[in-house]
Amino acid sequence: MTTVVTTRDSLFESVQLGQHSLKNRIFLPPLTRSRSTQPGNIANDLMADYYRQRTGAGFMVTEGTQIEPRGQGYAWTPGIHSKEQIEGWKKVTQAVHEEGGIIFAQLWHVGRVSHTSLQPDGGAPVAPSAIRATAVKSFIETAPGQGDLADPSEPRALSTSEVKELVALYAQAARNAMEAGFDGVELHCANGYLVNQFISEHTNQRTDEYGGSLENRLRFLKEIVEAVSDEVGKDKVGVRFAPLFESTDELRVYLGLVESKPYETYIEAIKLLNNAGIAYLSLAEADWDDAPDLPETFYQGAREHFDGRILYAGKYTPEKAMRILDAGYGDLFGFGRPFIANPDLPERIRQNQLLNEVDPATMYGGTEKGYTDYPVHL
């Protein structure tokens, strides 16, 4: 029997994603950078430069982009619900396409992880149930260009009709993304935000058709996927989850909302996505220093139940990517923080070069410093 050993060259194979032929298996995952133009949360020329610099990736996903004003939980994050925002994103997609890149917009709604100062008319954040988020912070503007962390405000529960209106807002945001020139959309269903809040038994205490059983808790996800697929085509849709199987503190429970039966919860969700026929499933693994890998049984289960491309990210190294690729569990691999500090990351990986270190002080908000001024080696 011949044993196939994956090398770094395998990360630079062409791979098909929906209707797109990607030049390599490396992707830029969604990374909040909070550089949008104010007022209005509008994508701008600086953001266009940032994404243009990283078109060495086979595929890129934008930072989380709120689908409506209530979807914002952090200062200066961009939206895709106004005409001005659509026009701003056109600068980004044009810059990326000029370099031959492929980019999807990540559609985002934070749900309960917000603060009244970020909400229209200072209202309460919306959520499946009126359960306040703990062990997490929102980021609010305290003065022009200045911000600080704040505890999320008490949310209010959405009515059944409002949930259905949100499904339509996701479809509208997807339509806006295509108008802005994106190649597709990714639905942010991870990290304790709105869709994750509907899925989770911890945050969804509803008694209508969207709560109770796992089937009901997955209904919001199902309806969004169907509505967005109808709008843009299922081959232009991806979904991101962040399943966790262990938790050692409240923050980690928040990040993945660890369920009593995480394998059952996420495998059923993955089966739902497979039935919908979407292009890809993106799995964000835990990325703190001592974070465990996903259980081998979950890697196997995800691959068994999903026929499209599977993307992985979360403190990945080329070596881990090659191991997952060699096992047949994944197809594309995201490198987040390294891509922030290394615009030419794919080539550095190819040549096994040293990487620039990320400046944590410039991660969120600010100017070109720590954003578009990292040195390129080649």
Task: Specify if 369 maps to a domain.
Answer: no
Half-sphere exposure of 131 (CA within 13 A, CB side): 17
Kind plus residue range of the DSSP H or E element containing 194: helix 194-199
Asked about 193 being catalytic, the answer comes back as: yes
Task: Specify if 377 maps to a domain.
Answer: no
Task: Specify if 368 maps to a domain.
Answer: no
Task: Specify if 235 maps to a domain.
Answer: yes
How many residues comprise the chain? 378
Task: Specify if 373 maps to a domain.
Answer: no
For residue 192, give its domain range. 8-362
Name residue 318's beta-bridge partners. none
pLDDT in tens, the chain (378 residues): 344 445 789 999 999 999 999 999 999 999 999 999 999 999 999 999 999 999 999 999 999 999 999 999 999 999 999 999 999 999 999 999 999 999 999 999 999 999 999 999 999 999 999 999 988 899 999 999 999 999 999 999 999 999 999 999 999 999 999 999 999 999 999 999 999 999 999 999 999 999 999 999 999 999 999 999 999 999 999 999 999 887 655 555 455 567 889 999 999 999 999 999 999 999 999 887 777 789 999 999 999 999 999 999 998 999 999 999 999 999 999 999 999 999 999 999 999 999 999 999 999 999 999 999 999 976
pTM exceeds 0.85: yes
From the candidates 50, 193, 312, 316, give the one annotated as an active-site residue.
Answer: 193
Give the chain's radius of gyration (CA, Å): 19
Task: Specify if 90 maps to a domain.
Answer: yes
Task: Specify if 52 maps to a domain.
Answer: yes
Name residue 309's beta-bridge partners. 280
**CATH (domain of 176):** 3.20.20.70
The confidence score (pLDDT) of residue 255 equals 55
Q: How many domains does the chain have?
A: 1
Structure tokens at 131: 């359960």
Task: Specify if 2 maps to a domain.
Answer: no
